[in-house]
Structure 1
Amino acid sequence: MSGRFANFIVRLAPGVTHSTVHYPLAFVNCNFQHDFEDTKKEEKMRMRNIYRKTTTLRCNAGSRCYSTSTVIWSLLGCILLFHLYSNIHHKHGEAREVQLRVTNHPQFRELQQVEEEVIQLPPPKGKRSPRAAKRRHKRVTPLVDEFLDQDSRLRHVFFPGNKSAIDPVKVTGNDSYYYYPGRIWLDTDRNPIQAHGGGILYDERSNTYYWYGEYKDGLTYHAHKRGAARVDIIGVGCYSSKDLWTWKNEGIVLAAEEMNGTHDLYKSNVLERPKVIFNEKTRKYVMWMHIDDANYTKAAVGIAISDTPDGPFEYLGSQRPHGYESRDMTVFKDEDGVAYLIYSSEENNVLHIGPMTEDYLNLIPVMRRVFVGQRREAPAVFKHQGTYYMITSGCTGWAPNEALAHAAESILGPWETMGNPCVGGNKMFRIATFLAQSTFVLPLPGFPGSFIFMADRWNPADLRDSRYVWLPLIVEGPADQALKHSSGLPLSSRVSIYWHRKWRLPQGWSTFK
């Protein structure tokens, strides 16, 4: 800091006025007339100074003098400069501390460690089980084939039994609050949670998390010989929690229609991927969902509303957004209150993104087509430091496939693909998204750049027994560095989903809500 003070004084020195600084007179090669005139001027100046207030001077080695007031103002300027510098440095340090809090937290450092998964595949069978789900893409991995075979000797690895279920009522002490991806997860009534393909809403009015999803506690069957595995509509399940681990069943908040065969929610139709957002202006909770018929030809979105987060929700009807078909979808509410619908369209070849009306009950006539020809579905959108991110899945029915992460400066695009975000496990695990499919990404309060990646491990042989795969998602790296991509997006910040057999959130995270 001493160097900064010295430079500051030097900049002030030229501004010192002639009335406070006296320069020695030099008489070199001057004639008498000049001497006489100079003497008269000096006498006049001396007479003027008699009536001036005397000022104490401080002089340096070069005979240049500064008044006390000048010195005082210089010192005050230095003090002000030091204060500003310290304040900026402190704020910068705080910002840096916030950015590094995730990686510096001991539990997050533990979660960012790469955990390998060793699975010994059995020798190939001569004939696969006819009950294994059919795959519609050419790329086949032995692990996925084994996963889809319900007679596989590794079935207990993919779908662990009841004895290993996550039971918040039973578990106590140090074993509490651990997530075990792929295990059965029980609610407070000790029944398996039924909230598939769903998402989570944090309700600020009640300081409670609400988890909405497909209630699939029914028989799995095929509508026709070539039809996909399905369960009749039961409704949208809702669970509440204060800690994101202990979940209370709030019941079915949007129920199927049992009698009216023309209704969108008639039990033989399709209701998938329900998402709920809160509208501050109307004070309504608004649910959007994928609505279809048994053959997946309706391809629409449905809308429902409620006065409370735990329902019941009133179904308002369905539509084809922007006049296009819509299948896998999600919603995203931005910081400015504008909400968006993101949906797979055009035979799943393109993703569409469009803003909603202010009441969240319709769409305005603005839409962008992204990932054209890439066949992406199961979108999950989140935001960090002004950049929008999205996790998507390929289109392979109930079979798992490789996830991709994407980023954009504007939610309407253009979007850049960052690659596979999965870290750990093994290669086959990573290209199959840990045998799961994305559904939602939940920000973790108090830890910028940290999220919970929510995914479903579908069980096409028994959809009610589909499992949940929750894993830590971390956005790492500086968000303000330019990229080598054409759009210049900060893709130097990597999105990573870390595999762990067992993990939990950092202690005290809930205090930041």
Structure 2
Amino acid sequence: MEIERGVKMRMRNKYRKPTTFHCNAGSRCSLSVAVWSLVGFLLFLHLYTLVGQNGGKGGELQLRRSHLHPLFWELEEVEEENIQIPPPRGKRSPRAAKRRPKRPTTLIDEFLDENSQLRHVFFPGMQTALDPRKASGNESFYYHPARIWLDTEGNPIQAHGGGILFDEMSRTYYWYGEYKDGPTYHAHKKGAARVDIIGVGCYSSKDLWRWKNEGLVLLAEETNETHDLHKSNVLERPKVIYNDRTGKYVMWMHIDDANYTKASVGIAISDYPTGPFTYLRSQRPHGCDSRDMTIFKDDDGTAYIIYSSEDNSELHIGPLTEDYLDATRFVRRILVGQHREAPALFKHQGTYYMITSGCTGWAPNEALAHAAESIMGPWETMGNPCIGGNKVFRYTTFFAQSTFVIPLPGFPGSFIFMADRWNPADLRDSRYVWLPLIVGGPADQPLEYNFGFPVWSRVSIYWHRKWKLPSTLVG
């Protein structure tokens, strides 16, 4: 294993200006003058930034819009949510009144309570389902985050923890994810909520809105208890990429046992995007434990694996072999000690970006955006990208967890953020939260080097109860 050391110091040096001053012998070039000039310049930039921040929403919006396609301007008008926590049902008994909770009930408590009076807010019923078969006119192509989403046959889509492959040959999007259409249970008293492995579901679409069920492209093993895909084990976060050299579609996924001690990745392969995929094997990449993971194919065709490791305390990233069927020996440790998982990578104008979540099991937590000039790092944290909703919505990634980011062809800087709103009481009823993600404008937080002024743009994920892709994209 090759671990990079001293990278941050090199990056800091990369962005610092030389401190040598070239002066003629007769000149009065003073170091103090240069220092005070630099201080004045930094103060000017700081004041300019404050003016930009306090000069009203319009000024900031205009700055961001210079980076965007005009059709996406309206998506920056975020919505606010004002959800009131209802009082307890009925009167409290004298005994219960004496056992008052140590802290007030929060929205997160209500979200995790399957008997909450706000259940319909977080998990709307079938009467509000997004049904592409029936939507017409002004309702066409609108996304409704967290509503039940039906396929073209009228069944709820089962593609959790998934990712999107855009197949260039057929000009078709393929959505792969966990098919969780089974009962939720606990393997043992202290075990996490789980469902048996059924397989990997696949859906196809031309417009990212109407999805046809292509069936299970990778099936669970029913009888062989020693097989990685035995139904009693864990299969999570399947991702598929196409190998231009071999002509194969390659799937990587998180493979584990019911106690999450196997901590491995699985690899499968197919000649077609709709499968069937042949399962090859599992392994621990670079000899390290691997849980939440994803793969990313760069512009030059090189593919990378990114996974949570060292008991989820850090992420590892490294290139795959040319056939995408194994990890090479090269690896970097990133976000060390930050306890991040659910990585979702994307690239814009030569800069790599990543959204991650914290490690709180099925409970929602705060997303963070990260950026790097090289995919192998160093990676710098930029802050929470979520905008709108309310403080709790932003702190919980809109009660969802990142899984993938879809670049929109023809709209530079515009993406779809894919996330799962997990329902630990009934995992098959977990919902999809798709929201507009835009790269543009000044970064959210100053960074350690380059005098605190980062070289990349902010990442913004905008909350909307209802939003629509540009008509030129969906046709």
Q: Give the distance between the partners of 2:404 and 2:268, measured in 1 at CA.
A: 19
Residue from 363, 366, 370 that aligns with 2:327: 363
**Displacement of 1:123:** 3.4
Q: Give the distance between the partners of 2:461 and 2:320, measured in 1 at CA.
A: 30
Q: Deviations over 1:454-481 (max 9, x none)?
A: 00000000000000000000001279xx
**Displacement of 1:343:** 0.1
Q: Give the distance between the partners of 2:106 and 2:88, measured in 1 at CA.
A: 8
Q: Give the distance between the partners of 1:104 and 1:202, measured in 2 at CA.
A: 21
Does residue 1:342 correspond to 2:306, yes or no? yes
Alignment CA distance shift 1:464-1:355 (3 Å): same
Q: Deviations over 1:430-461 (max 9, x none)?
A: 00000000000000111100000000000000
- Partner residue of 2:385? 421
Q: Give the distance between the partners of 2:440 and 2:88, measured in 1 at CA.
A: 40
Question: Contact conserved, 2:306 with 2:317, CA < 8 A, in 1?
Answer: yes
- Partner residue of 1:495? 459
Question: Contact conserved, 1:291 with 1:298, CA < 8 A, in 2?
Answer: yes
**Displacement of 1:140:** 10
> Where does 1:194-233 land on structure 2 (aligned, <5 Å)?
194-233=158-197
- Partner residue of 2:23? none
Question: Contact conserved, 1:236 with 1:255, CA < 8 A, in 2?
Answer: yes
Alignment length (residue pairs): 401
What is the DSSP-based 3-state SS (H/G/I as helix, E as strand, rest coil) of the residue aligned with 1:144? helix
What is the DSSP-based 3-state SS (H/G/I as helix, E as strand, rest coil) of the residue aligned with 1:433? coil
Question: Contact conserved, 2:364 with 2:401, CA < 8 A, in 1?
Answer: yes
What is the DSSP-based 3-state SS (H/G/I as helix, E as strand, rest coil) of the residue aligned with 1:434? coil
Alignment CA distance shift 1:431-1:483 (3 Å): closer
What is the DSSP-based 3-state SS (H/G/I as helix, E as strand, rest coil) of the residue aligned with 2:312? coil
Return the structure number with greater relative CO, CA threshold 8 A, min gap 6: 2
> Where does 1:145-156 land on structure 2 (aligned, <5 Å)?
145-156=109-120
- Partner residue of 1:465? 429
Question: Contact conserved, 1:381 with 1:389, CA < 8 A, in 2?
Answer: yes
Question: Contact conserved, 1:102 with 1:108, CA < 8 A, in 2?
Answer: no
Alignment CA distance shift 1:249-1:395 (3 Å): same
Q: Give the distance between the partners of 1:141 and 1:277, measured in 2 at CA.
A: 44
**Displacement of 1:174:** 1.2
Q: Which amino acid aligns with 2:266?
A: G
Residue from 61, 68, 74 that aligns with 1:103: 68
**Displacement of 1:100:** 5.6
Does residue 1:322 correspond to 2:286, yes or no? yes
Question: Contact conserved, 2:68 with 2:414, CA < 8 A, in 1?
Answer: no
Q: Which amino acid aligns with 1:445?
A: P
**Displacement of 1:141:** 7.6
Mark the runs of 5 or more structure 1 residues left unpaired by the alignment: 1-98, 128-138
- Partner residue of 1:381? 345
Mark the runs of 5 or more structure 2 residues left unpaired by the alignment: 1-63, 94-102
> Where does 1:102-181 land on structure 2 (aligned, <5 Å)?
103=68, 105=70, 107-123=71-87, 142-181=106-145
Q: Give the distance between the partners of 1:498 and 1:505, measured in 2 at CA.
A: 13
Q: Give the distance between the partners of 1:159 and 1:305, measured in 2 at CA.
A: 35
Q: Which amino acid aligns with 2:137?
A: G
Q: Give the distance between the partners of 1:108 and 1:102, measured in 2 at CA.
A: 10
**Displacement of 1:507:** 1.1
- Partner residue of 2:449? 486
Q: Give the distance between the partners of 1:237 and 1:202, measured in 2 at CA.
A: 16
- Partner residue of 1:21? none
What is the DSSP-based 3-state SS (H/G/I as helix, E as strand, rest coil) of the residue aligned with 1:276? strand
Q: Give the distance between the partners of 1:365 and 1:168, measured in 2 at CA.
A: 46
Question: Contact conserved, 2:159 with 2:201, CA < 8 A, in 1?
Answer: yes
For the pair shown, which has the larger CA radius of gyration, 1 or 2? 1
Alignment CA distance shift 1:104-1:350 (3 Å): closer
Q: Give the distance between the partners of 1:268 and 1:467, measured in 2 at CA.
A: 23
Q: Give the distance between the partners of 1:141 and 1:298, measured in 2 at CA.
A: 36
Q: Give the distance between the partners of 1:489 and 1:400, measured in 2 at CA.
A: 31
- Partner residue of 2:238? 274
The TM-score, its normalising length taken from structure 2, stands at 0.81
Give the alignment's Cα RMSD to 1 decimal: 2.2
Question: Contact conserved, 1:141 with 1:428, CA < 8 A, in 2?
Answer: no
Question: Contact conserved, 1:442 with 1:451, CA < 8 A, in 2?
Answer: yes
Q: Which amino acid aligns with 2:143?
A: Y
Question: Contact conserved, 1:195 with 1:215, CA < 8 A, in 2?
Answer: yes
Question: Contact conserved, 1:422 with 1:497, CA < 8 A, in 2?
Answer: yes
- Partner residue of 1:435? 399
- Partner residue of 2:226? 262
- Partner residue of 1:450? 414
Q: Give the distance between the partners of 2:84 and 2:78, measured in 1 at CA.
A: 19
Q: Which amino acid aligns with 2:151?
A: D
Question: Contact conserved, 2:194 with 2:427, CA < 8 A, in 1?
Answer: yes
Q: Which amino acid aligns with 2:178?
A: E
Q: Give the distance between the partners of 1:486 and 1:388, measured in 2 at CA.
A: 18
- Partner residue of 1:18? none
What is the DSSP-based 3-state SS (H/G/I as helix, E as strand, rest coil) of the residue aligned with 1:509? helix
Q: Which amino acid aligns with 2:271?
A: D
**Displacement of 1:412:** 0.7
Does residue 1:397 correspond to 2:361, yes or no? yes
**Displacement of 1:484:** 5.2
- Partner residue of 1:85? none
Question: Contact conserved, 2:285 with 2:327, CA < 8 A, in 1?
Answer: yes
- Partner residue of 1:67? none
Q: Give the distance between the partners of 1:102 and 1:171, measured in 2 at CA.
A: 32
**Displacement of 1:143:** 1.0
**Displacement of 1:393:** 0.3
- Partner residue of 1:83? none
Does residue 1:308 correspond to 2:272, yes or no? yes
Q: Give the distance between the partners of 2:69 and 2:350, measured in 1 at CA.
A: 22
Q: Give the distance between the partners of 2:329 and 2:168, measured in 1 at CA.
A: 31
Identity %: 75
Q: Give the distance between the partners of 1:484 and 1:366, measured in 2 at CA.
A: 27
Q: Give the distance between the partners of 2:296 and 2:87, measured in 1 at CA.
A: 45
**Displacement of 1:110:** 1.2
